């Protein structure tokens, strides 16, 4: 099983997007999650650094500037999705990636506070 380090740049980017209200509170993450085609289109217009900024996890041992390097996407490559953060918490906790789980949980709590969800 892969192991992951938390991507501090993605945590910071997600916080910035939440602060600027660039988030979606209600979505079906299974339908909204970027597929390979959407990721490829994004990479045609943006840098790998921009792409990395959407992923809370960095796959240990994977090469930079490959899709395999980045895991636990937090949004649709435009906005953070609350459902994506929930999925990150769930997946990370299910596979015992504790630091990613905690980072996603903290972002979820921050989004909820910013959105007035108590």
Q: What is the mean pLDDT of each run of 10 residues along the chain (118 residues)?
A: 96 98 98 98 98 98 97 98 98 98 98 96
CB 72, CB 4: distance < 8 Å = yes
Read off the pTM. 0.96
**Of 56, 53, 116, nearest in space to 86 by CA:** 56
pLDDT value for 90: 98
Q: Rounded to an integer, what distance in angstroms lies between the CA atom of residue 118 and that of residue 111?
A: 11
Supply the pLDDT for residue 117: 96
């Amino acid at each position: 099983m892969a192991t992951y380090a938390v991507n501090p740049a993605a945590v910071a980017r997600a916080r910035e997007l939440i602060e600027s209200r660039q988030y979606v509170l209600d979505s079906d993450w299974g339908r909204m999650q970027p597929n390979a085609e959407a990721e490829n289109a994004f990479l045609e217009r943006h840098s790998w650094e921009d792409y990395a900024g959407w992923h809370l996890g960095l796959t240990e041992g994977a090469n930079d500037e490959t899709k395999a390097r980045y895991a636990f996407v937090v949004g649709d490559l435009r906005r953070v999705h609350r459902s994506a953060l929930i999925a990150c918490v769930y997946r990370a906790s299910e596979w015992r990636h504790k630091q990613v789980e905690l980072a996603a949980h903290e972002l979820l709590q921050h989004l909820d506070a910013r959105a007035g969800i108590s």
